Copies of this chain bind each other. A is one copy, B any other.
Amino acid sequence: MAELLKVDADRLWSTLAASAKIGTHKTGLRRLALSDEDKAMRDQFVAWARQSDYAVKVDKIGNIYVRREGSDPSLPPVVMGSHLDTTIEGGRFDGILGVLGGLEVLRSLDDAGIETKRAIEVIDFTDEEGSRFSMSMVGSLTYTGATELEDVYELTDKDGKKLGDELERIGYKGDEPLGERTFDAFIELHIEQAPELDEENLDIGLIVGSYNIRGYRVMFEGETAHIGPTPMDRRHNALTGAGYMIGKVNDIGLKYAATNGKTTCAKIDVWPNIYGILPSEVELTIDYRHADMETLAQMKAELDAALVESCTRAQVTSRITKTWKFGDDGFDPELCDMMRAIVPGITERHKEMLGQAGHDAYSMASFGVPTVMIFTPCIDGITHNTAEDVDWERTIPGLNLMLNLVEQRANRPAP
């Protein structure tokens, strides 16, 4: 077995340190998609790519493709990618490690003087976090055609600014068409977002599949009325219906917590949301997820019953206005086997896991691209929070796994 390649951990750390200075917020980052900070980070990423003579292309939704050419440019590239944007209270590693780690893989191959048969690319996907325009995984989902480009351009932030205009303003509305590239493989390295690896003292998570993730929006409909005189039994307070539901949703999640089931209400919109008036319209977003499909169906049945109970108790009606799902498309068995073969040469401290969050990798998998993910530990599993942090020593093994996986994949015989 050939000696395994290693990334330059110090160089990658200095790259991450430079990123941590762009949009610094408390101990983390506030680098919202298509903000001035996002533009500055994109400019830096492109500058780094050009310093190494990698080709740079930008597509119509602003995804940036950095390419280290292969000896046979006609073969589809092996692609790494994640995102450089953060949430409003984000950390320095979520998404960023996958992109700048990908850049480090290219640089390490340069250092080692290794030419690959296939080209290797790194993608910075636009607006993965969805913290500004209320849609997440914007770049990858739009690339795959899961959402229409024209609709996405019209998304507005809280100040009424349109995503398309902001993309143009920061100079990243590119020309590359969407959905027309062929990828040999897609690999996303990401910090874990639960304290699993951290607590079990493991350094690498091989993500061989995903939780089944479901979401839906419920519109509760009642009647506006004055809060003072309207008797309790004549009220149709839509917020009361939503309130009962929020409690029940959490109860159901707690019930399935032992098998790592999860339920969430994180977003609610109330109309008119004024002190003195019973609200007539409340839209609540509900998310639930479980690794086991049968348990997932059972959770859904309980959520359905909870919705009926909540509406009855509050004397309001409800209707589901939108549903979505992701995570059902499994990861590529061949890529999983390649990871399994490489990892023992790097560390014994690894295990196989299921992804639990939305990632651009799922967009790629659902688009038919052979996909896999690698998780590295995150201290206490805290992400989407400025306190997000990593143990650097324990982060490097995952990067070395990505480097070797990409190199072997890019150099395997052409079909």
Which residues does A use to contact B, with CB under 8 Å? 87-89, 129-131, 134, 136, 192-196, 211, 213, 215, 223-234, 237, 239-240, 242-247, 249-250, 253-254, 256-257, 260-270, 272-280, 285, 287, 289, 313-314, 356-358, 381-385
Contacts of A243 in B (CB 8 A): 242-247, 249-250, 265
Contacts of A237 in B (CB 8 A): 250, 264-266
Copies of the protein in its oligomer: 2
A247 and B240 form a contact (CB under 8 A): yes
If A229-B357, A239-B246 touch, whether A224 touches B384 (CB-CB below 8 Å) is yes
B240 and A272 form a contact (CB under 8 A): no
**Other-chain residue from B89, B226, B313, B314 in contact with A357 (beta carbon distance below 8 A):** B226
A227 and B274 form a contact (CB under 8 A): no
Known pairs A237-B265, A266-B273, A267-B273. 14 more at Cβ < 8 A?
A130-B276, A131-B272, A193-B229, A196-B229, A225-B383, A227-B287, A231-B262, A232-B257, A234-B381, A239-B266, A239-B268, A244-B250, A266-B279, A276-B358
Contacts of A289 in B (CB 8 A): 228
A87 and B267 form a contact (CB under 8 A): no
Interchain nearest-CB distance for A24 vs B (Å): 17
If A225-B382, A234-B381, A382-B225 touch, whether A267 touches B275 (CB-CB below 8 Å) is yes
A225 and B268 form a contact (CB under 8 A): no
B228 and A257 form a contact (CB under 8 A): no
Please measure, in the bound complex, the distance between the C-alpha atom of A337 and the C-alpha atom of B364, giving whole angstroms: 79
Interchain nearest-CB distance for A141 vs B (Å): 13
Task: Offer 23 A-B interface pairs, CB within 8 angstroms, sorted by A.
Answer: A88-B272, A89-B224, A89-B272, A130-B274, A131-B274, A195-B234, A224-B385, A225-B382, A226-B383, A226-B384, A227-B262, A229-B357, A230-B262, A237-B250, A239-B266, A240-B265, A242-B243, A243-B243, A244-B246, A247-B247, A266-B278, A266-B279, A277-B384
